[in-house]
Structures are given as C-alpha cells and as structure tokens.
Amino acid sequence: MSQSDTQTALPRILVVGGGAGGLELATRLGRTLGKKKRAHITLADANMTHIWKPLLHEVAAGSLNSTEDELNYVAQAKWNHFHFQLGAMTGLDRERREITLAAIKDEHGGELIPERQLRYDYLVISVGSNTNDFNTTGAAEHCLFLDTRAQAERFHRLLLNQYMKAQAIEHTPGEPINVAIIGAGATGVELAAELNHAARMLHAYGLDRIRPEDLNINLVEASDRVLPALPERISGPVTETLNDLGVHIHTGSPVKEVTADGLLLANGERIPASLKVWAAGIKAPAFLTRLGLETNRINQLVVTRTLQVPGEPRIFAFGDCAACPTGEEGRTVPPRAQAAHQQASLLAKNFKRMLDGKPLQEYTYKDYGSLISLASFDAVGNLMGNLTGSVMLEGKLARIFYISLYRMHQMALYGLPRTMMLILSDRIGRSTEPRLKLH
C-alpha cells in the first residue's frame, strides 16, 4: 500500500481557518494524531501566513512589524505533522463530505489554482469573525477595518502618508490630523493608545512638522462608557489614562452616518476625521449562512456544548464563528481569544477520545479575566481564578501579564525552546531596529 493510500485510509480531519484557535488545533492534532499516523490532519486557510489577531492594532500603529511576527502555514505544517491547503471555503456538500475552496488568482487577476474540493471525515470550522458595521450609512465606503493584516498595514501606510506629506511641504503649525475610532472596546481603546505612542515616536524620529498633540484622536462609543463589555472598575482607570493622553472620548451616542470628511453621531454631533477606523462589534463571515447549517443573527454557526453542529456529528465549529451555549439561559460564549484557546484544547482531546471510542466532553467557558494594554503608558485588567477570585492589576505587572498572553499563544504553536529563542530575538531586535515601523 502506497503512502497516499495509507493517508486516505486514515480518518481525515479538516480544519478550516488558521486563526489563533484553528492553528492551535491543527498543531495539537498534528503533534498527536498526525505524528502517530492515527489521522490525516489538514488545515485550510485563505492566506499563507498567520498573525495573532489581537496584535493587529499594533500593526496599524506601526508598533509591530508584521513580517517579523507572522507564521508561515506551510512551515508550521511541516514541523507539526499536518498538511496545509491554500484557499477560502465557499461551499459545503454534507452528503459527499467535502468542502469547496475558491480559486486562487495571481497578482494580475489570472487563475493560478482552480476551484477545488477537499474531502473530510470530520470537519472543523474556525473561520473567526469580521467587524460588524451594523449597515451604518457610509461605513463600508469610508471606514478602514482591522480584520486582517493587509487592512492594518493599509491604515499604517495612510497614516505615514499624512506625515510624509506634511514633512515634504509647508505644513501649518497646529493643523491637526483627525482620526476617529468607532468602538471603545479592547481594539479601539488599545489602538487609540498605540496611535498616541506612534505620534510621539514619529516626532522623535524627525517627522516634526506634525506635533504629537496635532494627532487628534477621537474615540466614539455608543454605550455610556469605554470597554462596556468589561467590569466598570477596569474602564475607570482606562478612561483616566486616555484622558491624560489627550484622547477625545465621545460616549452615549452611536454613529448615524460616516462621510468622507468625518462622522455624524445620532445626537447631532459632528466629528471631523480624515482617517476613520470601525472597531465596533463582530459578525461571522457571511458564507456560513449559505452552507445549509443553522446560524444566528450575526452569522455564527449554532453548536452544542460539544462544539458539534446540531444533527451533524461530523461537523464542528468553534471560536468567534460559533455560538456555543454557556449553560445560562440565552447566553453564548463571548467571542474572545481565551475562549478559542480553551475550545481548541478541548477539541484536541475530544478527537482522541472519539478515535478511542470514548464519549465527547462538553465545553465549559472559564473566564480568566481581561487585560488591556495602553501602549507603553499603562496596562490594566483583572485576573480570575479559583483560588484568588478576581484580582485587579495595573501598571507594569498588568503589562507583564498582557505580554504573557501572546507568549502563551507562541508556546502552543512553537513549544518552549523555540518560544524562548523568539523572546531573545525580540530583545536583540529592539536594540538594532527602529521602535516604530517607518515604511
């Protein structure tokens, strides 16, 4: 029997979506079931590389060089005993147990790889989420979004263009660059702080025709406070820090309309802005509603506590694209990175249990708290545990715990030795490279 025949005889586990959860799951399954030849593991994604989505606001501000922190799926597959297929999922045939991947086009629009089908015995959908603009007039036309690395890099280029233009021609002193961030959740708050930090760094590097205080940052939130999904004792210190940084906070009124030159709020207030970022709300990709599976109002696939689609025991979904019940009436697991990590860990165990003929375990969401980083200025949050209860953190200690979240993600993907080498490499890089990406 050939190697290919052996592979097709193995149970085929197909993971669609290489975000934090999907990539962690494929890596765990590859290291266990794939390495031991108990299953054939495949990861499919529309991109060639992975970057941790909570870092995209740093890419947008230029605090993080995305080319240094990205992970190549082909290499990760090679190192961890799974396979990678490039392509975006567009269809599902449940009877034939196969998905359709869209054609891949080259830079000139020509077809590089035709549309194709991938077979599976078990399918896991983990395609994440996109920003939800709630069909606000003008938002899609005039706002930037931070769902992908390309979008974050585009925002950074547009910001730099403003600075380069001001540096090359006569710039009126005190003339502001107006930025509006819609949504004061974690992404919006952290982006506001990173942009303030970027303004100071750009001035320090000699782009001094625009003073740091001339980057006029407006943070807009429909609720009555920033970070409305987190405890009020966290939003209080964050608000104080943002005020100290000169960020203009507008709460209590949603955006009614977005125009080329600014925002119109429902309360009648107008906010001028040449750069507008929409960071409020999430929804799962629209193609999920066309698969013949049950979805909710924000396109999430409805799943059971075992993360299986009802009536489809061979199809699983988790992370931001799935609506998993918490056990409390009408409540589902929040779309947070820690939930996707927990679910990936459970699914890795459950697939082994399934192949061993054991029943699947149910997922129970465990909230370990929230941490918000305000660039180099501050960090605040709370940690929750069985022994400690809820512990409030601020300052350097909170910053250390915040950074550790990313290191834990790297540990899951690379293991301890390589993660330690990455930490060392990062420290060396800080002394030899600009602290801000300048191109």
Query: pLDDT tens across 23-68, in order?
Result: 999 999 999 999 999 999 999 999 999 998 988 988 998 888 777 7
98-131 b/e (C-beta count within 10 Å ≥ 16 → b) = bbebbeeeeeeeeeeeeeeebebebbbbbbbbbb
- 3-class secondary-structure state, position 113: strand
pLDDT averaged over the chain? Answer: 89
Structure confidence at residue 171 (pLDDT): 61
325 or 204, greater pLDDT: 325
Q: How far is CA 25 from the centre of its chain?
A: 16
**What pLDDT score was predicted for residue 168?**
79
Q: What is the mean pLDDT of residues 100-110?
A: 91
CB 316 within 8 A of CB 303: yes
Is residue 402 pLDDT above 80, yes or no? no
The structure tokens 């489809």 sit at 312
| Cβ-contact 304, 310 below 8 angstroms | yes
Average of per-residue pLDDT across 89-116: 93
Query: For residue 381, what is the DSSP state?
Result: E
Of the candidates 225, 216, 60, 238, the one whose C-alpha atom is nearest the C-alpha of residue 143 is 60
What is the arrangement of strands in the sheet containing 270-272, beginning at the earlier edge strand?
255-259, 262-265, 270-272
Whether pLDDT at 15 is above 60? yes
Segment 341-377, tens digit of pLDDT: 999 999 999 999 999 999 999 999 998 888 888 877 7
Q: What is the pLDDT of residues 280-292, one digit of tens each?
A: 999 999 999 999 9
Q: Residue 435: what pLDDT?
A: 61
Residues 206-212, mean pLDDT to the nearest whole number: 84
Contact indicator for 180, 273 with CB cutoff of 8 Å: yes
Q: What pTM did the predictor assign?
A: 0.90
Amino acid at 67: T
Residues 169-190 have a mean pLDDT of: 85
- How far, in Å, CA of 341 to CA of 318, rounded? 10
Does residue 275 register a pLDDT over 90? yes
Q: In this prediction, what percent of the chain has a pLDDT beyond 70?
A: 92
Residue 370 backbone zone (phi > 0: left; psi -120 to 50: alpha; other: beta): beta
pLDDT band at 309 (very low <50, low <70, confident <90, very high): very high
108 versus 68: the higher-pLDDT residue is: 108
pLDDT at residue 34 in the model: 97
- At residue 1, the pLDDT reads 39
Which one-letter DSSP state was computed for residue 363? Answer: P
Provide mean pLDDT across the span 204-212: 85
DSSP 148: S
In this prediction, residue 195 has a pLDDT band, given cuts at 50, 70 and 90, of very high
pLDDT, tens digit, 9 for 90 and up, residues 315-336: 999 999 999 999 787 799 999 9
Question: How far is Cα 36 from Cα 33, in angstroms, rounded to an integer?
Answer: 5
DSSP string across 208-226: TTS-GGGEEEEEEESSSSS
Task: For residue range 230-250, list pLDDT tens digits in order.
Answer: 888 889 999 999 999 999 999
Reply yes or no on whether the pLDDT at 163 is more than 70. yes
Q: What domains can you pick out in the chain, each with its CATH number? A: 3-129+284-355 (3.50.50.60), 139-282 (3.50.50.60), 369-432 (no CATH)
CA separation for the pair 72, 52 (Å, rounded):
12
N-to-C CA span, the chain: 53
**Strands of the sheet with 98-101, listed across from one edge:** 89-93, 98-101, 116-119
244 contacts: CB under 8 Å, gap ≥ 6: none
Instruction: Give the pLDDT confidence score for residue 406 in this predicted structure.
Output: 80
